[in-house]
Structure 1
Amino acid sequence: MMSKRIYLDIETLPPTEETKTVILQALRQQKLTMQETINDDDLAMMADEEYRNGALHGERGRILTIGLLIEENGAILQQGCLGRDRETRQYHLDEARTLRSFWKLVADFKPSHDLFIGHNLLDFDLPFIYKRSIIHQIKPTIHLSFRRFQSQPIFDTMWEWSCWRHRISLHDLAQALAVPSPKAAGVTGDNVYDLYQQGRHEEIAQYCMRDVVCVRDVFHRLRYETAPPLLPAGITPLENSFTQAANAIGAAIR
């Protein structure tokens, strides 16, 4: 039976910039109400921290990109990042467009024998995608169960490693399993917003795909296997996927 494995990672942004002003005003009013004295610099730092924290919540944050690597019976069919303009290679921030592309891409997913694979996938990436889809009124093309203690159709490397007992970062797990860490280049999820503000879109795409490839390596280690080499032959590019990083991803992390 033909079966697919979809390795997945998302990168998110805080809410729109206007929200930062709203947060600052709310904090200032809160301090006045509580008769607390705080200088403007400290208040601005508090507002910035709360604003950035919004990227972790599907109610407020936004999906910048969805990194995917899709295999079928060991052959890589597609890989790349959704959310970028084909010509400029810049992230277009049209979240609804990115979500529609994602649900179209996975429409033939069969929960009975296909797998979504990711790190903290059950608690972050997939719920975030579902929440943003509801907000944009984009109906998912498939139904997934988020029940705990399962490895089909969602294989969460974090929970599989810890036997559903505690959390561990992908970086720490990669180090434990002697797998190249996606954080080795110095970029983490905490840097994504700053990189976006600086226009360093290609670095975000490369980091996102390093996460995806690392998850693939970890998945195989958890199954007492060695991950097959990444071979670009026969790959169908994703809509808005990046080019150089997708073609050189294997070399980039090893």
Structure 2
Amino acid sequence: MLEQLDLQNLLILDIETAPQFRLYEEVPEHLQLLWEQKTAYQRKEVPAAEFYERAGIWAEFGKIICISAGVFSDAEGNSLRIKSYCCDEESELLEDFATMLNRQPVNKILCAHNGKEFDFPYLCRRMLVHQIAIPPQLQTFGKKPWETNHLDTMELWKFGDHKNYTSLSLLAAIFNIPTPKDDIDGSEVGRVYWEENDQERIRIYCQKDVITVAQLLRRFRGEELISEENIVYID
């Protein structure tokens, strides 16, 4: 599986998000009403204020606080280079990431776990909000499905089965890949960001997901895992 994939033409990414405001009380009144309307089905009987800790899931009410990107640095896929973009100013973070993508070949394949449902559209929506031109690798408008160079490890695992969601943690467990969830999980990122202001912790967590996706691709190809000494972090 994936034996014909050119690993050096692949860019693996993961994003971490948080609510746009620290507290629900800080959300402008008109947006509070829209939040109540947007989440009515998901909240059930939970008050909108209590549900706000989950606002990072929605691009309209959340913001990107970290992007990690990884590339295979040799044709065999035995080594990986990772760079992260973390910043309180979302517009600056997105500008830097877009600049990097615009320097890549337009046919660069973007890969993420559940990327087609979350990471890729979230990036595009937040770029539009900040009036940042969407790089060609993220563009989907006017393209046929087979013309979009997006690879999703969750979709690959489905093999056409659309009934359920399979987490990256579960796939890591069954393929004996060291888990990326040994510190915080996605539900805690907003708290770590707003209450602890620990961007380094979030950056490390984000990078671990990129590494796990890369290792999962290796397993899908029937290959050994990348050794830790062959993973390089770029400032």
Scaled to the shorter chain, the TM-score interval is: 0.7 to 0.9
Aligned partner of 1:93 in structure 2 is: 88
Question: How has the CA–CA distance of structure 1 residues 20 and 127 changed in structure 2, closer, same or farther, with 3 Å as cutoff?
Answer: farther
Q: Does 1:158 align with 2:154?
A: yes
Structure 1's unaligned 5+ residue stretches are 31-42, 84-91, 242-254
Q: Which secondary structure state, in structure 2, belongs to the residue aligned with residue 155 of structure 1?
A: strand
| Residue 220, structure 1, aligned to residue 218, structure 2 | yes
1:69 maps to what in 2?
Answer: 70
- The TM-score with structure 1 as length reference comes to 0.71
Alignment correspondent of 1:81: 84
Would you say the 8 A contact 1:119–1:157 is kept in 2?
A: yes
Gaps of 5+ in 2: 1-5, 37-44
Instruction: Report what 2:22 is aligned to.
Output: 17
Match of 2:60 in 1: 59
Contact 1:4 1:109 in 2 (8 A): no
1:191 aligns with 2:173: no
- C-alpha change, 1:163 and 1:155, in structure 2 (3 Å) is same
CA contact (8 A) 1:187 1:207 kept: yes
Counterpart position of 1:103:
98
Q: Percent identity?
A: 25
User: Paired residue for 1:6?
Assistant: 11
SS in 2 for 1:80: strand
The aligned amino acid for 1:100 is E
**Is the Cα contact below 8 Å between 1:111 and 1:152 reproduced in 2?**
no
Which digits, 9 at most, give the CA deviation of each residue in 1:166-219, with x for residues without a partner?
311111111121111111x14101111111221322221111111110011011
The total of aligned residue pairs comes to: 212
Q: Which amino acid aligns with 1:110?
A: P
Distance in 1 of aligned mates of 2:98 and 2:130: 13
Shift of 1:21: 4.5
Q: Which has the larger radius of gyration?
A: 1
Report if the CA contact (8 A) 1:69-1:78 is conserved. yes
- Structure 2 partner of 1:138: 132
SS where residue 151 of structure 2 aligns?
Answer: strand
> Which whole-Å deviations, capped at 9, do the CAs of 1:118-168 have from their partners, x for residues lacking one?
101111011101000000000023243388976962110111011242311
Q: Provide closer, same or farther for how the CA distance between residues 52 and 148 of structure 1 changes in structure 2, counting only shifts above 3 A.
A: farther
Give the match for residue 167 of structure 1.
165
Contact 1:106-1:141 at 8 Å conserved across structures: yes
Q: How far is the alpha carbon of 1:6 from its aligned partner? A: 1.0
- Matched position secondary structure for 1:221: helix
Report the RMSD for the aligned CA atoms in angstroms.
3.1
Greater CA deviation, 61-70 or 74-83?
74-83
Runs of 4+ with >6 A deviation: 146-149
Asked whether the equivalents of residues 8 and 71 of structure 2 are also in contact (C-alpha less than 8 Å), the reply is no
| Cα shift readout 1:66-110 (whole Å, capped 9, x = no counterpart) | 011123434767423202xxxxxxxx4111111111111111333
Distance 1:148 1:46, change over 3 A: farther
